Structure 1
Amino acid sequence: MNTLKSNNQAASHRLNKLKLQLAKSQAEAFFLHTLPSLRYYGGFTGDSGFLLIEADEVTFFTDGRYTTQAASELPGKITLVQIDSFIQMSSNLAERKITLLGVEEQSFSIFRDQELKKRIPHLQTLSCQQQISTPRLCKDKEELALIKQAITIAEEAYRQTITLVKPGISEHDIALELEYQMKRRGAERTAFDLIVASGYRSSLPHGVASEKPIAPGDMITIDFGACYQGYHSDQTCTVFLGEPSKKQQEVYQAVFLAQQAGIKAARPEISAKDLDHIVREMLEQAGYGKYFSHGTGHGVGLEIHEAPSISSRSADILAANMVFTIEPGCYFPHQWGIRLEDMIYLTNQGSQVLTTLDKQLESAIIE
């Protein structure tokens, strides 16, 4: 089966399930505008469009740049309407006499809300964020296959790039090589601005690659990922250019054991907050808890950061078929830092590690 046909079938199936949610809600229609939602429910890979889901009709609005593309990507049951502006689309909605419209509240702007209500005076908008976003929490087999391919692309690129790491090469050059190697293997783009932070800069959790040259004895944190057919990968390795100090070895091992404890503890029905606590407690017991300054992990899929959130503030409960990261780290300001990150697929039996790069200390030393 070709990719386009498979994507159309998957989108059509998801759309049917969402229409069942519409029937149970107060809304007369759902209005989708975020790119992940348009891709998930419509199969659309462009970057501008709106999907209106009514009980008896589904309409996709986009401008002339994307009408040909949309016509080839959308499932056949979706009506395609070309528009010149959001205002023109608002007028189209006014003709439909919708009074209760469900929107993606977290990213639906005040401007758009006001523009709709100018043209549809009796319109009320309500949040349908949960109905739209919840199905994306658990990945189907097609999504899992795309995520695995994104991981494969990124890991092959990393294995090639790491052979070039030596004193004198800049963080920026390492990031450029990683990006090149990912794209030549089929990535649409990098999953995010690649993090390559060496020496004292490794103490920056999000130290995007700079012109700093790699020096002998540096530790280097490399946080990287690929985007393949809309789906992302995310992984972090910390490596040493030469023998690490005793303290660095001790901290590395503490981070590694904390991550392994999190992987082992992950299971359906555990709260994300409890999972975060298990990982954090391991670092506390090792004496490094105060140096772990961020959450334990996050979901990965059509977005690089999505639900579930694995943190002390999360209300999420983990379930089978979720994909998320476990990424503890310790950061000593202006000195150095260590983070290890892997992607997990949760099954009814527990966690399956999707990423394959060895995180054992012995594998992290570049002679």
Structure 2
Amino acid sequence: MLEQIRRRLAENNCDVFISTYKTHRRYLTKFTGSAGLVWIGHDTNILIVDFRYTEQAAEQSPGWEIVKQESTLTETLQSLIEKYGVKRIAFESEFITVDQLNHWQRNFEVEFVPTKNWVAQLRMVKTDEEIEKITKAVEIADQALQELIPTIKPGMKEIELALELEYTMRRLGAEAIAFDPIVGSGPRGALPHAVPGERQFTRGDFIVIDMGCVYQGYCSDMTRTLIVGKPTDKHLEIYNLVLEAQLAALAAIKPGLTGKQVDSAARDIIASAGYGDNFGHSLGHAVGLEIHEEPRLSQLDEETLVPGMVVTVEPGVYLPGWGGVRIEDLVVVTETGCKILTQTSKEMVIIE
């Protein structure tokens, strides 16, 4: 990956690429500390950290020169700029504030060149090691939900289930939750990102559960929709429609298609059934060190899928005042299609 950054430097006539963004710092160096700056030159790769992290950085980032920050980061950067005769510095414009850039421009007699997506594009295709960690995060979430489904009963509160989801994933080996669990029941299931509240599960409710955890830095993401009590014809109609759309999208995924084309595979089915206006979000997104990454499976995304990308497939139908259904798997794009990582059944689960 360093050679790809260096190619970009040459193409843009820059001497150094710097990054302060935590996720990119971890991706490039494997350093997990909360502060530091990555410096990549044509023949240098340096990780600047302060006193708190020198030992940790040396352990986690073999192959990187660890530079201990002087009294300020500005002084340390100035020393490196002078040492290597730097004239043009490429920086990540989407992660540097105007105030920070102004500070650098006042203090350094160099040209700062804005860049975007140099590292994000590298992160789109996962290594085997990354996929192994994502798979483990998926397994933890799968197991947690399977353990908890038998405990879900009418009268249980959304917030109680959300708490149990978080605790169970942590107990099973997750280092953190990937995002606050979404639990929306009954009419609140029509909120795609419902915040769990005090509402109690009631017969006739769909319960939308969206959950994920972090394992060794990498995220998982899964949604299942349960029904409390015997489903009505409308429950079956909406659930089966979303499931049909999800299965169609899974079958469509293969290298060479764009995110837009895969999105259409699910969206067209839902629209043909008359619920197009009730599916208002994209079909999916990539997952990795962050829960939302590129590429997206959306009506606008023209990025071509390639093997090694890890994406969610999560169509939904949301009916205000009634409820909603979303079904989500995490998949890896393969040479011939996709491999579904999520193993929790998609058959309708009835809570008695």
Q: TM-score range by the shorter chain?
A: over 0.9
Q: Which runs of 5+ in 2 are unaligned?
A: none
Structural mapping, 1:210-229, within 5 Å: 210-229=197-216
- Aligned-residue offset at 1:351: 1.3
- Aligned-residue offset at 1:131: 2.7
Match of 2:95 in 1: 107
Structure 2 residue 297 is matched with structure 1 residue 302: no
Structure 2 residue 351 is matched with structure 1 residue 366: yes
- Whether contact under 8 Å (1:29, 1:55) holds in the other structure is yes
SS in 2 for 1:106: coil
- Aligned-residue offset at 1:153: 0.9
Q: Which is further off, 323-332 or 27-36?
A: 27-36
CA distance in 1, matches of 2:314, 2:142: 17
Structure 2 residue 344 is matched with structure 1 residue 357: yes
Q: Given the alignment, which residue of 296, 305, 308 partners 1:318?
A: 305
SS in 2 for 1:202: helix
Kindly provide the amino acid, as one letter, of the partner of residue 366 in structure 1: I
Q: Given the alignment, which residue of 114, 126, 140 partners 2:114?
A: 126
Match of 1:340 in 2: 327
- Aligned-residue offset at 1:211: 2.2
Q: Deviations over 1:149-185 (max 9, x none)?
A: 0001111111112221112221111111111111112
Match of 1:193 in 2: 180
Q: Deviations over 1:24-73 (max 9, x none)?
A: 44221111121221111101112221101112222212223323322221
CA distance in 2, matches of 1:85, 1:328: 48
Q: Given the alignment, which residue of 260, 277, 283 partners 2:247?
A: 260
CA distance in 1, matches of 2:203, 2:148: 18
Q: Deviations over 1:236-259 (max 9, x none)?
A: 000011112211110110100001
Structural mapping, 1:115-154, within 5 Å: 115-127=103-115, 129-154=116-141
CA distance in 2, matches of 1:41, 1:87: 22
SS in 2 for 1:114: helix
Q: Given the alignment, which residue of 119, 124, 148 partners 1:161?
A: 148
SS in 2 for 1:40: helix
Structure 2 residue 264 is matched with structure 1 residue 277: yes
C-alpha RMSD over aligned residues: 1.7
SS in 1 for 2:117: helix
CA distance in 1, matches of 2:219, 2:302: 24
- Aligned-residue offset at 1:99: 2.2
Q: Deviations over 1:215-240 (max 9, x none)?
A: 23321100000101110000000001
Match of 2:13 in 1: 26
CA distance in 1, matches of 2:34, 2:134: 20
Q: Given the alignment, which residue of 287, 309, 327 partners 2:314?
A: 327
Kindly provide the amino acid, as one letter, of the partner of residue 286 in structure 1: A
Match of 2:69 in 1: 82
CA distance in 1, matches of 2:286, 2:235: 29
Kindly provide the amino acid, as one letter, of the partner of residue 189 in structure 2: S
- Aligned-residue offset at 1:91: 3.3
Structure 2 residue 34 is matched with structure 1 residue 43: no
Kindly provide the amino acid, as one letter, of the partner of residue 182 in structure 1: M
**Aligned pairs, number:** 351
Kindly provide the amino acid, as one letter, of the partner of residue 99 in structure 2: F
SS in 2 for 1:208: coil
Q: Which has the higher contact order (CA 8 A, sep 6+)?
A: 2
- Whether contact under 8 Å (1:344, 1:353) holds in the other structure is yes
SS in 1 for 2:119: helix
- Aligned-residue offset at 1:15: 3.3
Mark the CA change 1:85 to 1:180 in structure 2 (over 3 Å): closer, same or farther.
farther
- Whether contact under 8 Å (1:261, 1:279) holds in the other structure is yes
CA distance in 1, matches of 2:309, 2:102: 36
- Aligned-residue offset at 1:94: 4.2
CA distance in 1, matches of 2:52, 2:186: 46
Q: Deviations over 1:186-214 (max 9, x none)?
A: 11100001101111111100002122222
Kindly provide the amino acid, as one letter, of the partner of residue 115 in structure 1: H
Structural mapping, 1:51-62, within 5 Å: 51-62=38-49
- Whether contact under 8 Å (2:58, 2:66) holds in the other structure is no
Q: Given the alignment, which residue of 216, 226, 230 partners 1:239?
A: 226
SS in 2 for 1:125: strand
CA distance in 1, matches of 2:253, 2:194: 28
- Whether contact under 8 Å (2:313, 2:329) holds in the other structure is yes
Kindly provide the amino acid, as one letter, of the partner of residue 34 in structure 1: Y
- Aligned-residue offset at 1:16: 4.7
CA distance in 1, matches of 2:64, 2:56: 16
- Whether contact under 8 Å (1:203, 1:332) holds in the other structure is yes
Q: Deviations over 1:296-320 (max 9, x none)?
A: 0000011100001111111211111
